[in-house]
Amino acid sequence: MKRLLLLLYNVYALLVFIAIMLLLFPFFLLASLGGPVTGGNWSIRLCMWWADAWMFLIGMRHRTTFEVQHDPERPYIFVANHLSYIDAVILVKSIRQYFRPLARAETASLPLFGFIYRNATVTVDRSDPANRAASVSRLKALLKEKVSVFVFPEGTFNMGDQPLKSFYDGAFRVALETRTPIKPILFLDGYHRMHYKSIASLTPGISRAVYLQEIPVDGYETHEVSRLRDDVYAIMHEKLIVYRAAWIKSSVNS
């Protein structure tokens, strides 16, 4: 019976997701006429409304907390831990300023959703060096326009029992080359809301995001990518343990 209810809930959530997408799609078409900066900002705003409506209708209650005061007028490079596909919704629910996520290029080929995806994100094909370089250039151009960017530095889902996977250098190299502060965010409940093993494992309940203290880059030289990366990793690792993230092995939590 429990499995049947979960299946019905997931079908309902999918249908609601698609219905909202279809309702908003004409507005995404209009937003695309605004160009990569203004149009992209409109697209992200529409994605925020989409997330608001969908999470409300499926019974997912979100709460964002700030360990220190956050200035939404400043551009940042946001980074967060990555657990499952639900993080894509959680991030636009958590970040309420104009930004662009760095996102996998493969998803851009989906019908309708792919069009929205291309206009609201910076896509990257990690297997193509030229594409990776072009994506970095787009991120830098957005930061120059005072638009924040978002990166999952783990690159993929953390499917282990440690707080984090190892980080890639990209976000931290861009931060140093553009002199943009890093703003870490913790996503604490993606593990329970949708498990990484299946997109059909969605459950209602709480979703929490925690903004940590920003990490300025003033104290780092441009070549000190690994030091900045390791410092951010250490801070996020420690805080995930403090907040007792559910996927962490008990021996680490203790």
- CA distance linking residue 119 with residue 142, whole number of Å: 13
Is the pLDDT score of 251 beyond 60? no
Distances in whole angstroms, Cα of residue 83 to Cα of each of 34, 105, 162, 220, 235: 33, 19, 12, 29, 18
pLDDT value of position 2: 86
- CA distance linking residue 187 with residue 95, whole number of Å: 12
pLDDT value of position 13: 98
Given a contact cutoff of 8 angstroms between Cβ atoms, the answer to whether 61 and 205 are in contact is yes
Longest CA–CA separation in the chain, Å: 58
Radius of gyration of the chain (CA): 18
Which H/E stretch holds residue 178? helix 170-178
Reported as a single tens digit per residue, the pLDDT across 128-176 is: 899 999 999 999 999 999 999 999 999 999 999 999 999 999 999 999 9
pLDDT confidence band for 249 (50 / 70 / 90) = confident
pTM of the shown model: 0.94
pLDDT confidence band for 126 (50 / 70 / 90) = confident
Is the pLDDT score of 201 beyond 80? yes
Is the pLDDT score of 252 beyond 90? no
Given a contact cutoff of 8 angstroms between Cβ atoms, the answer to whether 84 and 196 are in contact is yes
Closest of 184, 189, 7, 222 to residue 86, by C-alpha: 189
Q: What domains lie within the chain, and their CATH numbers?
A: 2-253 (3.40.1130)
